[in-house]
Structure 1
């Protein structure tokens, strides 16, 4: 049997270990025969494993060799992918239905959101999942499905039951349904909106509240649509609510709505670096967004960056090895054979994360 001894940074997706891996304390890390993907490499880095022995790549039957920077196709994708696309298509139908009749089919909402949200339990790397599922569908439709998924996740992280989280996920799915009454020329305008146009956009919260109240017996879904642009300092709309005047479910949707909007490419916006978006949410948590809700979201999203390649402010490239539980944006970075703790080395900054 032919083998290769390589540094962990040289691993190619699908490489196969030929022996058990133990860390310096004798703890078992990975088993002989394990195929190496992003999660396995992340584990090796966390345990400070520098070199591994793999089966010679010429002896394997991998049809394609891809570096770890490339997109992984995880086990859940064949299941969740079609459900995701179905949800995007369903929202488009609901959008058109709401514009035409002023109501939506509640059974249709449940039939598409429940399998989507149930399947989310298969995967916890939310960052990679959204990027893998991203399609070329209309922003409005896809955004609503993403907000549904993220609302569900955040609700579970905040301690809501699965039943409650499913309701919150449905609220996220419907939060923008009122945009069906906003002219497409305004929704997709590439230039800055006029004061009149922006006033019209703000009304989507009121329209959504009306449509949902006329369709569902669950008032919380309507309240979430009405209040998801309210801000705890009173700067939001449509009613300028403050603090506890805003329903907790609307606070959840406010956080994930901003996250999904900022990571998306639109006619008037290029997508932003994912770590930058979380930093922006952190900044908003001091005046506009509920701090506990926002920090819970960030705390659970940050570990998804472990194993991701980054570019530093000195133009060096490294890999995120560990994240910090409170200093969210200053993880442990490996650059070559060197480990840099950004909580101690304050001169270093991450400028881009590669997914």
Structure 2
């Protein structure tokens, strides 16, 4: 059957050689198409291809069902991590310390669940954001720190420690007045100086609660930056612990993609673009690039609302601009890399 190139799907097989409009041979008969080869056909101006369609629908349906079941299975562990952090937070507020064993009681079963997930974008999208920002954010940063450490090649034990440290990174906020944490407007310079103290408070609380110095160091350093522009000590990147640099990436992603009293959440691909920009001097390039490289493929198949009001599905990442993909609205294909006046307002499962 002959189909338009924008209707091609991975797994379709060419029944004839394909040529560009100027007669250049592009792909040979019998080629089983993948995303890269479909892009190649588009780039060479091939309009139609004669194909044997892939028989993928049952497998896709099964994968979607399995993904949904896995997300539903994981949700109680996510909720437990949010509730658990609230308990730790309130204990630290009241006593200046927390029960360290509770952290492992929360993190160990959560990480066991995380090992089953491949689509981390779906995992992030399924998180209920109605919970208190600080508690939800800490859970997200713990999860993402675990994944980033894994993607960077750290051992299972080290990745767990990175996730654990990320989970505790903001415990020091319990000593920041609620009027500052929940202030809807911009902080004054004096208020910002007080807010920055949560890093030092967190370090002290964790040191009082545990003999493990790494989570305390991560709490202290997660706002330090590679170019020495961070706080509280504006140190050089050589002095920043690797887990602190990992948590910094997770912290920025989570903060930008969640609703806060002073800022609405940003669409995830916009956040990814900002992280990419920050990897040139601010954030660890290795940690940021590993995060982006593993997250981007998970956006394919996600539903979106465009700035035009149209709804659609991301069908392909664009090699010219990874953060502005090709979207199928059902009526047309929108290449966001070329239609710069159109953006994505929302991404959902």
| 1:40-84 residue CA offsets vs partner (Å, 9 max, x unmatched) | 9xxxxxxxxxxxxxxxxxxxxxxxxxxxxxxx9711133211111
- Give the CA deviation at 1:143: 0.5
How many correspondences in the alignment? Answer: 305
Relative to the length of structure 2, the TM-score reads 0.78
What residue number does 1:108 align with?
102
Report the secondary structure of 2:314's partner residue. Answer: strand
CA distance in 1, matches of 2:347, 2:62: 15
What residue number does 2:245 align with?
251
CA distance in 1, matches of 2:208, 2:347: 44
What residue number does 1:178 align with?
172
What residue number does 2:197 align with?
203
What residue number does 1:234 align with?
228
CA RMSD of aligned residues (A): 3.0
- Give the CA deviation at 1:302: 0.9
What residue number does 1:83 align with?
77
- Give the CA deviation at 1:240: 0.2
CA distance in 2, matches of 1:99, 1:114: 24
- Give the CA deviation at 1:350: 5.7
Whether the 8 Å contact between 2:268 and 2:347 is mirrored in structure 1 is no
Whether the 8 Å contact between 1:230 and 1:239 is mirrored in structure 2 is yes
- Give the CA deviation at 1:238: 0.2
What residue number does 2:134 align with?
140
- Greater shift after overlay, 166-175 or 121-130? 121-130
CA distance in 1, matches of 2:304, 2:331: 15
Aligned pairs for 1:1-355 within 5 A: 23-24=13-14, 25=30, 30=55, 34=59, 36=61, 39=64, 74-310=68-304, 318-323=312-317, 327-334=321-328, 336=330, 346-348=338-340, 351-352=343-344, 353-355=346-348
CA distance in 1, matches of 2:55, 2:145: 34
- Give the CA deviation at 1:219: 1.0
Whether the 8 Å contact between 1:39 and 1:307 is mirrored in structure 2 is no
- Give the CA deviation at 1:226: 0.5
| 1:77-135 residue CA offsets vs partner (Å, 9 max, x unmatched) | 33211111111111111001111111111110000011111101222221221221224
Whether the 8 Å contact between 1:310 and 1:350 is mirrored in structure 2 is no
Whether the 8 Å contact between 1:227 and 1:250 is mirrored in structure 2 is yes
- Greater shift after overlay, 264-273 or 143-152? 264-273
**Structure 1 248/34 Cα, relative in aligned 2: closer, same or farther at 3 Å?**
closer
| 1:132-167 residue CA offsets vs partner (Å, 9 max, x unmatched) | 122421100110001000111111111111111111
Relative to the length of structure 1, the TM-score reads 0.77
CA distance in 1, matches of 2:229, 2:342: 31
CA distance in 2, matches of 1:131, 1:271: 12
Report the secondary structure of 2:209's partner residue. Answer: coil
Report the secondary structure of 1:267's partner residue. Answer: coil
- Give the CA deviation at 1:309: 3.4
**Structure 1 314/241 Cα, relative in aligned 2: closer, same or farther at 3 Å?**
same
In structure 2, stretches of 5+ residues that fail to align are 1-5, 15-29, 33-52
CA distance in 2, matches of 1:257, 1:195: 22
**Structure 1 284/34 Cα, relative in aligned 2: closer, same or farther at 3 Å?**
closer
